Amino acid sequence: MGEIRTVEIVDMNEDGVGIAKLSDGMVVFVPDTVAGERAEIEIIERRKRYANAKCLNLIHISSERIDPLCPDTGTCGGCSLAHVSFDLENRIKANAVRAALRRNGLGQVAVEETLSSGTRRGYRNKMSVRFDPEAKIFGYSEASGTAILPFHECSLCPDVFGAIVRFANERGEKLSSLLPSVLEIRSGTDGITVLLECAARAAAFDGFAQELRRAFPEICQVLAAPFDADERPVLRDRIAGFDLLFSVRAFRQVNTPMFEKLLELVISLAGEKPFSSAVDLYCGSGIIGLALARAFPDAALYGVEINPDAVEDARRNAAANGVGNITFFAGDAASFRSHLKNGNTPSLLVVDPPRAGLSTDMRLEILQLAPERMIYVSCNPQTLARDLAELCAAGYSVRRVVPVNLFPATRHVETVCCLYRQTKDFISVPYEPKNADYLRHMK
């Protein structure tokens, strides 16, 4: 039996774990507790700087604790914050960004309140479930291992997505002959796309596809992957006033309404000062670059992305939406200077890297280019803080840090930062883009 203590839960981390402090200052992590609660705990592990404990009894229950919408919360692991109020979730996410900055020597940088919507339910436009060949069902992975859980529902997705998974699971025995691995469901303006990853293609798939479309008229296409070399199925969506076409496997933000809010924020930050040219790095299918190009028609925009299929989507979408002041290139973001005309230095740089953040080569490239301003969109506070610390050490200052709750109920938080290169004669001048009405009519 370990130490038994009674503690106050003073904070929480993004994993939904309560944090207490012992009288000697030792930090204790206590799962299944919420900030504001008083709990009897058992310390099960002591380390040099912290301890881990389990909750034995809740003496006082916080008013911020709620009943999760999903019956699998705690076993699936996807919704680590589903048991706390939305207000507390947003505070936790802002605190996660603050903590990452503080650990990297940027504790003086102010972090704004989390930008969020009013809902946690049904916001995802994509669901992906794995097939268990033994149980012959699709489901989510268990948080503590690789086992696949029986699927009940997912409150983050539209109800019809869950109904499609349950429909497939009723036919799991028949589908097992296809050697399936993943069932992916995505929504767009034309309807729902269902994609089955399978190693074998047989009549069983065609029969399943026909049954599925009869049962769910919302479905516009049922596909089997991998695709043949000449196949390139697409889906359509409308985002921020753009009618867009995506390769069906292309990355697309899963929360369209909140992504539109993020785009508004990026455009607002870009509009703080005039610029004649800008580069959007890690541009994917080009939505950030397209939004900037439409909002600032007198500026020359460039987008760089390593995935050639995404670049093809971006070029096609620029042409289809009549956006002529942006050029997209396929290549490593760290070599983007080679794509600029006459080596011109853009005054504004927008980066939206993967979770690993900016590579060493990319950080060196940015510091050599030394753009006047940067907008950094991050999906990982830890790598964001690391990169900001290096940029600040090289002469940049962080002007704004805004957490964006793009993934409600989960541990993940998007962050948008604005940086300026420090110069002695710099004067910030408020600036409104020529077609500022675009900001007010994006949806």
Q: How far is CA 321 from CA 189, 245, 248, 349, 435, in A?
A: 16, 11, 19, 23, 16
| β-strand partners of 401 | 417
User: What is the tens place of the pLDDT at every residue in 200-237?
Assistant: 877 789 999 999 999 999 999 999 988 876 778 999 99
pTM equals 0.91
Q: How far is CA 386 from CA 20, 32, 182, 392, in A?
A: 27, 30, 35, 10
Catalytic residues: 379
d(CA 30, CA 51): 9
Checking if the pLDDT of 262 tops 80, the result is yes
Look-up: residue for tokens 């992590």?
Answer: 29
d(CA 4, CA 9): 15
Look-up: residue for tokens 């929360």?
Answer: 255
Paired tokens of 79: 């919704």
Stretch 164-179: mean pLDDT: 95
d(CA 64, CA 89): 9
Q: What is the pLDDT of residue 378?
A: 97
Q: Which domains does the chain have, with CATH numbers?
A: 3-60 (2.40.50.140), 126-235 (2.40.50.1070), 255-440 (3.40.50.150)
Q: What is the pLDDT of residue 369?
A: 86
| β-strand partners of 19 | 11, 29
Query: H helices within 307-380, ranges in order?
Result: 308-320, 360-369
d(CA 374, CA 136): 49
Q: Please calculate the CA angle 397-333-358 and round it to the nearest 5 degrees.
A: 45
User: What is the tens place of the pLDDT at every residue in 358-406?
Assistant: 999 899 889 888 899 999 999 999 999 999 999 999 999 999 999 999 9
Beta-strand pair 219-225/300-305: unpaired
Paired tokens of 179: 């050697």
Please give the order of strands across the beta sheet that includes 348-351: 326-330, 300-305, 277-281, 348-351, 373-378, 414-421, 396-404
User: Phi first, then psi: what are they for 200, rounded to 5°?
Assistant: -125, 140
How many C-beta neighbours within 10 Å does residue 371 have?
21
Checking if the pLDDT of 342 tops 80, the result is no
How many C-beta neighbours within 10 Å does residue 340 have?
18
d(CA 237, CA 209): 22
Contact 274, 346 (CB under 8 A): no
User: What is the tens place of the pLDDT at every residue in 397-409?
Assistant: 999 999 999 999 9
